[in-house]
A and B are shown apart, each in its own frame.
Chain A
C-alpha cells in the first residue's frame, strides 16, 4: 500500500489522548517479565517530562488472563474492572492509562457493553458496592500506555541522545512493529491509526529516526492464545504462530522489533530461542536473532538510559548487536550484576543463538 494511502487511513483514526494527569494501572505480564519497562515509562513521564501519573498499590489484576482463559464469568471481570475505575475516581482522576493490552481491550469491550446494556451497568455498580463499598465511576479518557508514549514521542525525540539510525552507514534502522491484537482489532476507533495500519508504534519509530518495514504477516497474532500457551500440550499453537511471523519478516532483514503488548515481546523473544535450539534456524545475520523490545525500552534507549537499567539483560535474544549499530555504550561486565554490583551469577549462553 502506498504511504499516502496509509496516512489517509491514519487520519481517520485520530484518538484524543490527554497530555497529563493519569491514573496508572500495571500489567501482570509486564511486571513479571519486563518490570523495568514500567519503571522507565513512569520515570520518563514524571521526571523527564514533568507529568502527573498517579499509581496506587490498591489496584489489582483486571482478571483478563483468567477471563480469556474462560475460568471466570464476564460479570466477575466487569466487577473487577469497575473496582479499578472506582479507585481512579476515588483518587481524583478521570484519565485512565493501563500498561496491558489485554486489559485495554477488555476495558473497551466492557465500556461498550455497559453503554449498550444500561441494566447490566447498574448490576455491576451494585456488585461493586456490595463487594467493595466503592462508588461506580467510568473514566473520561481511557488510553493504553503506548498511546501516551506516542503522544510524547516528539518530546522524547527532542530530549533524546540517540536515534534509531545505524551509526556506521547513517541509514535508518529497519524496524518491525508488532501491535498486540487486543489493542484495536476489536475496536479500531479506540487505537491510534485503527486496526489495519495502527500508527501508534509507527509514529514512535518515525519520530525517533527509524524506518518501518512492511511484511505479509505483519498483523498476525504472536500466538499467545491464553490457554494455548498456558497449557504445555497446547503450546505448539503459540510457537507455530510466532514461527509464521518470523518466516514472513526475515526476508525483509529487520534490525529490531518493537511491540506494545506485554506478552508479545516475551513470545517473539523466547520462541526465537526455541526455534534456534530445535531447528538450528536463526532469523538475524550470522547465527544471531532479531532483538525484540518493548516501546518503553526503545524510548529509554533513545533517551540514553543504561541498557542494563532497562532490563535488556533479561531478554533471551542478545541486544548488543543493536546497541552497537546505534552506538549506545554498555559495559558487558555489568550485564548480569545485581543491585550495587552484587554477583548473582549468569545465565548459560545458548550456542544456538548468538
Chain B
C-alpha cells in the first residue's frame, strides 16, 4: 500500500465509505452520473481498494472523479455498505491537496466553485445569496426569475422575507460578529488554506494561458468538451 493510499485512508469518509467491494456494479446501475457521463463508480471503488498508488494517482488526475453529483443514491443500494459518493469526496479532497486537480478540465472548475460559494459564506453567511444569482448567468431560471431578480427587494418584502434586514427571518443580514466566527472556523480548520491553494493554482494557469482572471473564469464556466458524455 502506498503513500497516496495511506493518505486517503486517513479521510473519515473513506473509513466510513469503503468496506470490501464485491464488484457487483449495483452502484453504477443506480447512479445518475453514470447514466450520462463516462463514469463507473464500481470501477473507481475497485481501483481505490487495489491500494496501488499509481492507480490512485491516475484517479486523482482524472476527469472521472469529478462526474459524481454526490447524491448518495449509491449508498442505499450497496450490498456491502460502501459509499461510492463518500469515496469520491475523499478522492477529490486528495486531488486538491496534491494539486493534481489542475490536470483535468473538470478539476480546474474548482476555481469558480471555491471563489463564488465561499465568497457568499464568508460575506453573507449563506452558500447561496440571491443577489449573487443573476439571471444572465442562469437563463434556465426563466423569465419569472428575470423579473424577480430585477425586483428582489419588492418581491422579498411581499413574501414576508427579511432580505438584508436586522433580526431573524429569511435572508436576513447575518451579524458581523457571526461572519467573523465563520472566518475563524475557516482559518483553523484548513478551509482558508485550501481556498488559497485553489486560487493560486488557478491564477497560475490563467497566466500561462495569457488570460485575465475574468477571462479564465468565463472559460471555465462555459467551455466543456463532449468527451465527458457517454454517447460521444
Hey, what's the 0/1 contact readout for B94-129 against A, CB within 8 Å counting as 1? 001000000000100110111011101100011111
CB of B33 within 8 A of CB of A83, answer no
| Cβ–Cβ < 8 Å partners of A344 in chain B | 151, 154-155, 158
A32 and B129 form a contact (CB under 8 A): yes
A70-B113, A314-B155, A338-B151 are known contacts. Are A347 and B143 too (CB-CB below 8 A)? yes
Measured between C-beta atoms, what is the minimum distance from A186 to chain B in Å? 5
A-B contact count (CB 8 A): 273
Q: Given the complex of chains A and B, what is the CA–CA distance between A70 and B104 in angstroms?
A: 15
Select from chain A the residue with minimum beta-carbon distance to B229: A236
Residues of A within 8 A of B130 (CB): 32-33
Contacts A31-B171, A36-B160, A71-B118 given: A219-B73 contact, CB under 8 Å? yes
Contact A235 B185 (CB under 8 A): no
- B32 x A223 contact (CB < 8 A): yes
Stretch from B53-61, B63-71, B205-213 that touches the partner: B63-71
Contact B93 A339 (CB under 8 A): no
Residues of A within 8 A of B72 (CB): 105, 181-182, 185-186
* Interface residue B6 (Cβ < 8 Å from any Cβ of A): no
Interfacial chain B residues near A163, Cβ < 8 Å: none
> In whole angstroms, what is the CA distance A64 to B120 when docked?
12
Using CB atoms and an 8 Å cutoff, list the residues of chain A in contact with chain B.
26, 28-33, 35-36, 38-39, 55-58, 60-61, 63-66, 68-76, 79-80, 83, 105, 112-113, 116-117, 120, 127, 130-132, 181-182, 184-186, 188, 195-196, 219-221, 223-228, 230-237, 239-241, 244, 270-271, 273-274, 309, 311, 313-316, 336-339, 342, 344-350
Interface residues of chain B, those whose CB is within 8 Å of chain A, are 11-13, 15-16, 32-33, 35-37, 66, 68-73, 75-76, 83, 89, 92-93, 96, 106, 109-110, 112-114, 116-118, 120-121, 125-130, 133, 137, 140-148, 150-151, 154-161, 166-172, 174-175, 178-179, 181-182, 184-191, 194-195, 198, 220-224, 229
Sample (16) of A-B pairs whose CB atoms are under 8 Å apart: A26-B170, A57-B168, A58-B175, A71-B195, A73-B93, A74-B12, A130-B184, A132-B181, A181-B71, A188-B76, A219-B73, A225-B68, A225-B71, A231-B220, A240-B36, A270-B145
Q: A35-B156, A38-B170 are in contact. List 13 more A-B contacts (CB 8 A).
A: A31-B161, A39-B160, A58-B175, A60-B121, A73-B93, A75-B190, A76-B185, A223-B69, A230-B113, A237-B33, A316-B144, A336-B147, A347-B144
